[in-house]
Structures are given as C-alpha cells and as structure tokens.
C-alpha cells in the first residue's frame, strides 16, 4: 500500500459520522451511528463531529446535535444537493485532511458504501465494512470493529493500526438510535467548498422513486424462507393482519420472488420488531443476525431439527402451507368476533 495520507501522530482524537439525508431528514442509520459514537466518545473523552454535505440542509445540523454530535462540519453548495460520489469524496477528503479525525463512521447505505470505498482509497486507509459492533481501545486510540466471517463461524475483530482515519460502515438496525435531546447545544462549523460541474462525472437525469419500505420500523415481521417456494401471498395476508411487513431470507430474494430491500440478515437489514414469525427458513447464521433481537421469535418449519428453533421463543414443527393459513383464519375469526 502506498504511503499514509495521515497517521496516528497527526490525528485529532475525534469520531466523525457522515450525515446522510433524504427528503429533509437524516437517515435512520446516521442517528443510530450518532448514538453509538456518542457512547464511544464519552468513554474516551473525545469529541463527536457530524459531517454534513448538502445544499440548504442547515436544520439537519441541529438534529445531529440533538442526537449526540458536539458539532457539525457543514459543507453547503448547490452541486452537493444530490449525492454524487465525485463531489462528496472531494469535499469529505478536504474536510478530513483539514481536521484529521481518528475515526470516520458511515452508514452502509448505497451512498454510504460508495463514499466509504472511494474515500478509503483516497485516504489510503483501512475500511471495515458491515460491522456488527464497534468498540474503542481508548488506551491505544484504536477502533475495534467486529465483523462476521466464514459463514458466521468466526467473529473477527479488525483494527487499522497506523493509518487514519480508522473507517467503518455499519448497516441500518445494528445499533439503536437514542431519543433526541432537543436541549443539547453544539457548534456548527461551515466550511468552504470549491466545486465545478466538471468535477462531477455523473449527471442525474431523472429521479425515479420506488416504493420504499423500512423493515427496521415494522412492529411485526412475517418472514418467508426458501421453504415458502416463492409463495408470499399468504405471508402478506398474515403481515397485514398483524399490522406488519413481509421480509425474506436471501434465496427468495435471489430467485426474484420478493424485493431485495425486504431481505433480512447480514447482507440485508437487521430488525428489532416486537414479533417475528419466520416460516420455511432453516436458521442460517447470516439470516438469524437479522431477527435475533426481535422481542419474540416464532418459527414454523417442517424439519424438527431445523436450527431456527434454537433461536425461537416459540416454534411449530409443521408445514407452513398449513400453519400460516390456519393462523390467518384464526386471527380473522377472532377479529370478526370482537367486531360483532
Ligand atoms: C456472506 C453471506 C451473506 C449472507 N447473507 C444473508 C442474509 O443477509 N440473509 C439471508 O437470509 N441469508 C444470507 N446468506 C445465506 C445464508 O447463509 C443461507 O443460505 C440462507 O439464509 C438460507 O435461506 P433459507 O433458510 O430460506 O433456505 P434453506 O436453508 O434452504 O432452508 C429452507 C427451510 O425451509 C424448510 N421448509 C421447506 N419446506 C417447508 C414447508 N412447507 N414448511 C415449513 N418449512 C419448510 C426446510 O426444512 C428448511 O429448513 C448469506 C450467505 C453468505 C455466504
């Protein structure tokens, strides 16, 4: 690897969080990262800074402060109105070189991943993607990032010893966002931005907004695995009755039976619903990490030895095509009785 851009000897003991936003609100994963980073910064006695890049996004700086940032470094420019990796990398790179923080955290969203990879290369530093936990070794000033590997059989702790910033991405739902404290005060530091249209190689020609579902906010989840043979209709009915959403393991997503944004697990979303009903899924580690924090997990599987049962509070050994319609029928009957 080429020489360092900056190392521990020049760093300022600070944690930075990239503040991504959409539709006038900070992404949920940024609030989760701010909460986690606040906890780490308090342990270490370090400062927590949000990096906000956008156009006329100033009110979001106050939100970030309410969610734990001590200050927000704010870059405002019309060419930052929409995310482009060229512009955001240039501006973030300059801001990081100015201040040389120890740690930079980003949400593992499509834009966060795009920016993280590009920045890590430009900064010639290490990037740990999709962390399942973060700790600080305060004495050594080292971020210890936990990731899973080898099919979940190994939990690896990754450190970036002599390059800065130490970078990590975290998927939505891994950490919990604390309630904002509207009384918190902090500093907003505007920084100058020099950008011209020639710096940006991508052009946004049209914005097409698909239906966006946020499984992390669903109070109930009905999850289908490969055992559902792509038949999600009955699961949708059950989810609707419970006021929840439908999710899936990876195989039905890969086979095109359901949208990718509904995939739960290590490479999907991590959810904490009140109840998760998991049907026809074996219970692979990569999937289980996405539902194990549900208040109650109910599993339906025809194989009495299915590993998912080890992670379930309640389980039914049976054919999901019999159990789920029976459950739907029972719920409907109960509602009819209570409305009568
Ligand atoms: C790096 C990596 C990342 C991954 N990320 C993810 C991820 O984010 N999410 C994810 O889900 N997977 C992920 N995977 C894949 C994961 O390892 C498993 O392969 C996957 O979760 C298995 O899905 P499944 O349980 O639906 O299918 P299977 O393992 O094939 O299980 C199907 C189950 O359905 C049961 N069944 C069959 N018919 C019925 C029936 N009629 N009624 C009831 N039960 C029935 C069977 O007994 C079986 O237990 C990842 C893999 C890797 C290598």
Predicted confidence (pLDDT) per residue in 196-218, tens digit: 999 999 988 888 877 778 898 89
Q: What pLDDT sits at residue 337?
A: 74
CB of 145 closer than 8 Å to CB of 165 = no
Residue in 149, 227, 263, 322 to alter for ligand 1 test, most ligand atoms within 8 A of Cβ: 227
Q: Model-level pTM?
A: 0.81
CA of 283 to the centre of ligand 1 (A): 6
Residue in 251, 261, 297, 325 to alter for ligand 1 test, most ligand atoms within 8 A of Cβ: 251
CA of 57 to the centre of ligand 1 (A): 42
211-225: string of b/e by CB count within 10 Å (b at 16+)? eeeebbebebbbbbb
CA of 292 to the centre of ligand 1 (A): 15
Q: What pLDDT sits at residue 207?
A: 81
What is the Cβ-side half-sphere exposure of residue 37, based on CA atoms within 13 angstroms?
Answer: 35
CA of 225 to the centre of ligand 1 (A): 6
Specify the residue with its C-alpha closest to ligand 1, atom 36: 227
Question: Tens of pLDDT along the chain (340 residues)?
Answer: 578 899 999 999 999 999 999 989 999 999 999 999 999 999 999 999 999 999 999 899 999 999 999 999 999 999 999 999 999 999 999 999 999 999 999 999 999 999 999 999 999 999 999 999 999 999 999 999 999 876 667 889 999 999 999 999 998 889 999 999 999 999 999 999 999 999 999 988 888 877 778 898 899 999 999 999 999 999 999 999 999 999 999 999 999 999 999 999 988 889 999 999 999 999 999 999 999 999 999 999 999 999 999 999 999 999 999 999 999 999 999 887 776 6
CA of 327 to the centre of ligand 1 (A): 22
Q: What pLDDT sits at residue 267?
A: 85
Specify the residue with its C-alpha closest to ligand 1, atom 53: 151
Residues with CB under 6 A from ligand 1: 151, 225-227, 249-251, 263-268, 280-282, 284, 286-287, 300-303, 306, 319-321
Q: What pLDDT sits at residue 136?
A: 97
Specify the residue with its C-alpha closest to ligand 1, atom 40: 319
Q: What pLDDT sits at residue 90?
A: 97
């Amino acid at each position: 690897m080429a020489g360092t851009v900056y190392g521990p000897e020049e760093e300022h003991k600070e944690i930075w969080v990239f503040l991504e936003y959409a539709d006038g609100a900070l992404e949920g994963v940024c609030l989760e990262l701010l909460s986690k980073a606040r906890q780490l910064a308090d342990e270490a006695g370090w400062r927590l800074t949000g990096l906000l890049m956008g156009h006329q996004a100033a009110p979001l700086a106050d939100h970030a402060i309410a969610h734990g940032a001590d200050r927000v470094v704010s870059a405002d420019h019309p060419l930052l109105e929409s995310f482009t990796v060229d512009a955001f990398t240039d501006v973030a790179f300059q801001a990081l070189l100015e201040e040389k923080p120890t740690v930079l955290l980003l949400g593992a969203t499509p834009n966060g991943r795009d920016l993280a990879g590009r920045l890590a290369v430009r900064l010639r530093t290490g990037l740990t993607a999709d962390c399942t936990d973060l700790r600080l070794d305060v004495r050594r000033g080292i971020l210890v990032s936990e990731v899973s590997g080898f099919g979940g059989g190994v939990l690896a702790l990754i450190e970036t010893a002599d390059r800065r910033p130490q970078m990590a991405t975290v998927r939505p739902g891994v950490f919990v966002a604390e309630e904002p404290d509207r009384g918190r005060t902090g500093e907003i530091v505007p920084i100058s931005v020099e950008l011209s249209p020639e710096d940006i190689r991508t052009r946004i020609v049209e914005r097409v907004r698909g239906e966006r579902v946020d499984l992390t906010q669903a109070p109930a989840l009905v999850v289908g695995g490969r055992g559902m043979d792509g038949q999600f209709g009955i699961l949708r009915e059950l989810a609707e009755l419970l006021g929840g959403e439908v999710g899936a393991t990876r195989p039905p997503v890969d086979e095109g039976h359901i949208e990718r944004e509904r995939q739960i697990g290590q490479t999907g979303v991590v959810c904490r619903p009140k109840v998760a009903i998991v049907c026809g899924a074996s219970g692979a580690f990569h999937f289980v990490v996405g539902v194990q924090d549900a208040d109650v997990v109910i599993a339906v599987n025809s194989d009495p030895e299915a590993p998912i049962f080890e992670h379930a509070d309640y389980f039914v050994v049976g054919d999901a095509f019999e159990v789920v319609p029976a459950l739907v029928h029972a719920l409907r009957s109960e509602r009819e009785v209570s409305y009568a």
